[in-house]
Amino acid sequence: MGRLDGKTVLITAAAQGIGRRSAQLCASEGAVVIATDVNAAALAELATESPSVTVRRLDVLRRDEIETLAAELADSVDVLFNCAGCVPDGDAADTTDDVWQQTFDLNVRSMFWLCRAFLPAFRRRRAGSIINMASVAGLKGVPRRLAYGASKAAVVGLTKCLAADTVADGIRCNCICPGTVDTPSWRGRVAASHDPQRARAQFEARQPMGRVGTADEIAWMVVYLASDESSFTTGASMVVDGGWSM
Ligand SMILES: NC(=O)c1ccc[n+]([C@@H]2O[C@H](COP(=O)([O-])OP(=O)(O)OC[C@H]3O[C@@H](n4cnc5c(N)ncnc54)[C@H](O)[C@@H]3O)[C@@H](O)[C@H]2O)c1
């Protein structure tokens, strides 16, 4: 028997990285999975590789697209995993207004819009698990992650407030705070640095385990929070960081 038998899980930014592995592991645990992303070509690849996963294009910067999707699917969704996010580089001196705004739009406002669109159906059914993607950078100061760290701290706050507002309605809301994880965008950040070999070594060295995490190591936390195994957990920030924040 699968850990997610009978559940329907909707995931944003599921075409690659943590979202993609979460879609695949949730499906392997018996869930009906709706994997959404703005990248239709990458979604098509996912659908070919994992035929049990249903894919659907969704740009989380578009409120109209979110509301259309929720009107169609919210009554059948049990778990909403808000995974979409970007990781801009910068400190207070070189972060532009545009970068700040784009980061908050993608990392925070999209979650607000998705939660607001799906909550009425969750409330009617007095059930539902919301999982938001935060980061250890939202809990501790990380150099050159000004907009990113601020946005992920906002995700932690959004999660706690949502949990407080919905706990009496039978809804749970938690976030995940990963350390550095090997995903396509992380590899891109390494490759874009002046000295990729050195950058990779620095990322690994700041993790006490001496390595970065895998997408699977975060996706299993998604499975746990999606499942009834976590039925007494709400408002929590689940740290999965190889000991970086200890
Ligand atoms: N990789 C890490 O080290 C790490 C660490 C902590 C937290 N996170 C967080 O995990 C999440 C996923 O990161 P990742 O590295 O696994 O993935 P990634 O950055 O490799 O992929 C991101 C996905 O988001 C999609 N996307 C971008 N804009 C979108 C939009 N407007 N609407 C819908 N989808 C959109 C992209 O098409 C892509 O498939 C992010 O929120 C990130 O901040 C990542």
Domain definitions of the chain by residue range:
8-183+216-239
Task: Find out whether the beta carbon of 87 lies less than 6 Å from any atom of ligand 1.
Answer: yes
Compute the distance between CA of residue 194 and CA of residue 92 in angstroms, rounded to an integer.
Answer: 21
**pLDDT tens-place string over residues 43-74:** 999 999 999 999 999 999 999 999 999 999 99
Question: Quick one: which atom of ligand 1 is closest to the CA of 84?
Answer: 41
91: its two tokens? 């400190």
Question: Quick one: which atom of ligand 1 is closest to the CA of 134?
Answer: 7
DSSP-derived 3-state class of residue 28: helix
C-alpha 103 – ligand 1 centre gap (Å): 12
- Residues classed as catalytic: 148
Name the residue with tokens 């799906």: 118
Name the residue with tokens 């002046």: 194
Which of 46, 58, 87 most suits a substitution to test ligand 1, by most atoms within 8 Å of the C-beta? 87
Average pLDDT over residues 229-235: 98
C-alpha 63 – ligand 1 centre gap (Å): 19
**pLDDT tens-place string over residues 142-200:** 999 999 999 999 999 999 999 999 999 999 999 999 999 999 999 999 999 999 999 99
User: In terms of Cα–Cα distance, which of 183, 60, 81 is closest to 133?
Assistant: 81
Question: Quick one: which atom of ligand 1 is closest to the CA of 133?
Answer: 41
Compute the distance between CA of residue 73 and CA of residue 65 in angstroms, rounded to an integer.
Answer: 12
Predicted confidence at residue 6, as pLDDT, reads 98
In CATH terms, the fold of domain 8-183+216-239 is Rossmann fold (3.40.50)
pTM above the 0.95 mark?
yes
Contact indicator for 2, 28 with CB cutoff of 8 Å: yes
Q: Angle at Cα 75 formed by Cα 80 and Cα 168, nearest 5°?
A: 65
Task: Find out whether the beta carbon of 83 lies less than 6 Å from any atom of ligand 1.
Answer: yes
* Strand-pair partners of 90: 145
Contacts of 171 (CB under 8 A, 6+ apart): 119, 122, 123, 126, 127, 128, 129, 130, 234
